Amino acid sequence: MAEAHLIETIIGIGILLFAAKLMAELFLRLKLPIVLGELLAGMIVGPFALGAFFVVDGRQLLQINDEIRILGEMGAIVILFMAGLEMTPKEFLKGGKASFTVGSLGVIVPFFAGLVVFQMFGFDALQSMLIATALTATSIAISIQVLSEFGKIKTPEARLIIGAAVVDDILAIAVLSVVSSIAGSGGGVEDIEISQVVITILQVLGFFAIMLIVAVVIIPKIITPRLWKAKGSVEGIATASFFGAAALAGSIGLSPIVGAFAVGMALSTTKVFEKVENYIGKVGLIFAPLFFAIIGAQVDLRAVDLNVLMLSGVVIVVAVVTKLFGCGLPAILFLKNKQQGMRVGIGMISRGEVGLIVAGVGVTAGILTSEVYSTIIIMVAVTTIITPLWLKMEYRKEQKSNTGATEQSIEQKPE
């Protein structure tokens, strides 16, 4: 029986990875975000879509069992370790006030707007809280992709987007910790004490600060080429460290991804940075597509009807407007430039991992119906499509106006 289970898991991983890469190729040629292709691949071959037709011995060929889900969660840890490597602690602190303000408002505005709007739509408080939580976190990977494509990764707005997205993620994870502990305890919203919520959020921030300090001080001393000479030792110890930190974060009741992110940040300034980045990039080639495909595979498109589409429309509008205002307006004040500030707002629209993780938590705890789960996934997918296209349009406009201005100044030069 155990062997049959193992074979089922292996087949599932094979199908999902193959489908994810096929769609990645298609999306690359269509100049669309590859991540989105991988998400869609999971939806298409998943057990609720095409997967339902492939039946062997009365069982579906592709089953999303617990092992595959765990692999998906490991994928999220790897993705956040990679994101941590992209940001040095100095850069993180330098963004200071601006990042903190933009990031905080990017969580507060969507959360409370979501809470109010969905309760008006007749959802109970706990469901509304989960949907509101899914609206909080920004998926930074997609915006970074667009910014580097246009060579804008060092601009003030890019630095602010990255800094704010990190703060945004930490706070969103704090909110997620609160909401999932309520969801897990089976209590209702009436059991929430504000003091408990504040304590949890402070715990997350405090834990992140301690973890970061410890990681920055200790990790470079442990992971050094002086100590580890055998082939693959540095990579192995780095992997053990970020999984260890993720486990530590998880055991304190935080999201494991916070731990992985902190270790990534600690390694971003060390001698082994290039070695680790090169290696984890290759690991990410397998884990990232798997993560997105597994998430897509859990979407039950049979639950999509007019009701779900209308609800999705509302969720998407709330998702876009709250980030544009919550992040864009304070960014305009800090950067003293309307265009750059708006780009920060646009860059923060795309929701990603945390939104999908929230949806997963809600569905596993039995709080979210498959309708609401599908709605959150649709919102994540649509905001993921909107963000890169909108950012590209913004930068194209800038390129056009720059070339226009140069041509004009050439014409105006006296003969």
With beta carbons less than 8 A apart as the criterion, state whether 157 and 347 touch: yes
Quote the CA–CA distance of 114 and 254 in Å, as a whole number.
23
**First vs last Cα of the chain: how many Å apart?**
87
Per-residue model confidence (pLDDT) at position 318: 93
Residue 191 CB partners (closer than 8 Å, separation 6+): 182, 185
Q: Which two tokens stand for residue 61?
A: 């060929």
* Planar angle of CA 124, 130, 372, nearest 5 degrees: 75
Q: What is the pLDDT of residues 55-83, one digit of tens each?
A: 777 677 777 788 888 888 888 788 778 87
* Planar angle of CA 180, 185, 187, nearest 5 degrees: 100
* Planar angle of CA 402, 407, 410, nearest 5 degrees: 125
Q: What is the pLDDT of residues 306-316, one digit of tens each?
A: 888 898 999 99
Helices and strands of the chain, counted as H and E runs: 17, 2
In this structure, the number of other CB atoms found within 10 A of the CB of residue 379 comes to 26
pTM above 0.75, yes or no: no
Q: What is the pLDDT of residues 1-54, one digit of tens each?
A: 678 788 888 888 899 999 999 998 998 888 777 777 887 888 888 888 887 777
Q: What is the pLDDT of residues 378-413, one digit of tens each?
A: 888 788 778 877 887 887 787 777 777 676 666 665
